[in-house]
Amino acid sequence: MRTWIRTLRPFDVLAAQAVIERTTDLREAERFIRLYHAENSSAGGLHARLRDVARDVARYGTYTHTYEELEFGAQVAWRNSNRCIGRLYWRSLKVRDRRQVSTAEGVALECVAHLRDATASGKIRPTVTVLPPDTPALRGPRLLNDQLVRYAGYRTSEGVVGDPRNVALTETARALGWRGRGGRFDVLPLIVQPAIGDPLLCNVPGDAVLEVPLVHPDYAWFEELGLRWHAVPAISDMCLEIGGICYPCAPFNGWYMGTEIGARNLADSDRYDQLPVVAERLGLDTSTERTLWRDHALVELNVAVLHSFERAGVTVTDHHTESRRFLTHLSKEEKAGRVCPADWSWIVPPLSGSATPVFHRYYDNSVLTPAFVHHGR
């Protein structure tokens, strides 16, 4: 059942400004239109389109992308994402054009629909939902959540229950009327900031969030740890910039690489910090680092993640396979005469980095557009 919780007081710090004193950069617009036509030979007349764009920017301070331009721009933004190792399938990104949705309720509904579409009964589909852009007259809507699915973090006298990363977001949601259950894996509500007005809380329906309970193929006790993770990593706090236009609410997802869950979300000491727990159950000597107990526990935690997702029929990839796929993508981009930007510190997996082929080379870390970028909210 869907539950709406309308805020009762102004949210001054995060209130949207109705007017943006900024027009679209015509040079960025022209650069994108030329790129689109260069890579799409059936796109039609380049010069006519450039004239139309220049006219609209002169009249209105902005212009409107065709669906084809929007789809191409979103796909290329993924292609240009220098921190993403999984770009081989950038052309497969499904683009949901929801630029006509303007209300906070409509934005929340589309985010929930995004989760359902992208989940696809476990066969995760790379998807982006594009909501209204910023214009000179009005800001587009925004989400305060950095992902569509996040687990709450509750401060208690004995420490944080849940995900410490999300303590601030949890406290914001509670200040706006949300009441969590106090558990380790409570899904936080979406917080939508419309162009004008107060934020809206939307509880995410349980049937829109596919979760995978974690078990281990060799250790029956692992199930007793009560660990789980959600299936769709949908980023929701980045602006999609295409040709000088900013779409501030454009949640997008691929699928998980196992180490994102097993070597970071569940293992980092400032997240769920499960390495000491797993090590104790394995009977490892944790009195000295020389026993490499962290490494042993980390491997078993990642084995559990990959095994559990596969058993549940949910798309996931391992870091060795994805590293090889990335080098295939890099080779294809170079053959196409394009730069493939990559940030080494993000591309190299957080587990067994030197055992993967992406470790042993340098990359061009250029910043290209279109792009997904972080802006102040």
155: which strand partners? 160
Of the residues 71, 110, 241, 260, only one is catalytic, namely 260
- Report d(CA 91, CA 82) in Å as an integer: 16
Alpha carbon 314 to its chain centroid, in Å, reads: 17
> In the 3-class helix/strand/coil scheme, how is 130-179 assigned residue by residue?
ECCCCCCCCCCCEECCCECCCECEEEECCEEEECHHHHHHHHHHHHCCCC
From 84, 111, 239, 340, the catalytic residue: 84
Exactly one of 87, 96, 139, 142 is catalytic; which is it? Answer: 87
SS3 26: helix
Length of the chain: 377
Residue 84: active-site member: yes
Active site residue 71: no
Catalytic (active site) residue 221: no
Look up 87 and say whether it is catalytic. yes
**199 near 171, Cβ under 8 Å?**
no
Rounded distance between C-alpha atoms, residue 139 and residue 129, angstroms: 17
Measure Cα distances from 206 to 4, 149, 268 in Å.
14, 11, 27
Contact 235, 371 (CB under 8 A): no
Rounded distance, CA 336 to CA 331, Å?
A: 9
What are the catalytic residues?
Answer: 84, 87, 255, 260
